[in-house]
Structure 1
Amino acid sequence: MIRIKILPSTKALVLIITGVIVGVVATLTVWILANLSSSNPVQHQSDNYNESSPSIPPHSDDTLVSKVNTNSTDQIKSAVRQIDALEQLQNHFERRATLYTLVAPLSDESIAELLTRSEDQQWNLSSKIRADLQRVLLERLSSSKPIDAIQYVLDHSQDGSGIGAMLFWLFKDWANSNLAAAVENAKKLPTAIRKIAFEGILQAYTQETNEHHPQISNDFNLDKHFVKSLLDVLDFENLTDPDLVWFAVIDIVEQDLSFAPQLEGLAKQWYLSSGFDVLEGIRTSVSHYEMKVTLFSNLLRYITKSEPARAFDYIATQLELGLRWDTAPHVISEWATQDPSTAHDAVSNIDPIALREFLRKTVIETWALKHPEYVLQNLSNFHQETRTHAVTSAIESLTSESPDVAVSWVLQLEDDIDQFDAARALVSVWSQHDLNAALNWVQSESAIAEFRHFLYQTLAISMVSTDPSGAFELALTLRLANGGVGFEAEIVSQIATEDVELALTLLPKVRNGKSKGFAYEQVGDALVRSGEFKKAANLGTQLDESYHSSYYQYISYIWVNMDPDKLYAMLPDLPNAEARSKAAYALFVLYDGNDSIPQKKVESLDQYLTEIDRETLGPLAPTKDP
Structure 2
Amino acid sequence: MSSAQNRKEFTSRFSARTTLLTGLLIGVVSGVVVYSIIVWTIRSSNSGMGSSSYSTESTDTQRLANSFDTIFSDELSQSDFFGLTESLSTLTQHDLKKLIKKSSNLPWNTRLYTLQEMLVEFLVHISPKEALASLVDFDEHRRLVLLRVVFACWSKTNLEQALSAATELPQSEQHSVLRAIFTEQNSLSSEDLLSISSKHNLESELIAWHRELETFEVLDQEPAKALDLLANDEIDDFLQMDLYRQIVDKWYQLDGMNIIPQIGNARLRESLWSELFDFVTGRDRVVALDYLFGDSERISRPGLAQHLINYWVKDNAEEAFQAVQDLPNSQFRNSMMQRLVFDWAETDPNAVLERLMDIPRFYRSSVLSAAAAELAQDNPKDVLDRISSFRSLPGTNIGSATRTIIRNWSDDEPTQSLEWVQTNTIKGSTLRNDLLSEVLGEYALEEPEQAMKIAVQEFISAEVYPNLESSVIRSLLFANRLDTAKELLGQVRGENRVSQTIEVGVEFAKKSQIDEVITLSSSIPEERNSDYFYQLVTRLTIYDRVSEIMEVISKIPNTEVQSDVAEQLLSAGYGDSTFTTEQVETLRSYVSE
TM-score by length of 2: 0.50
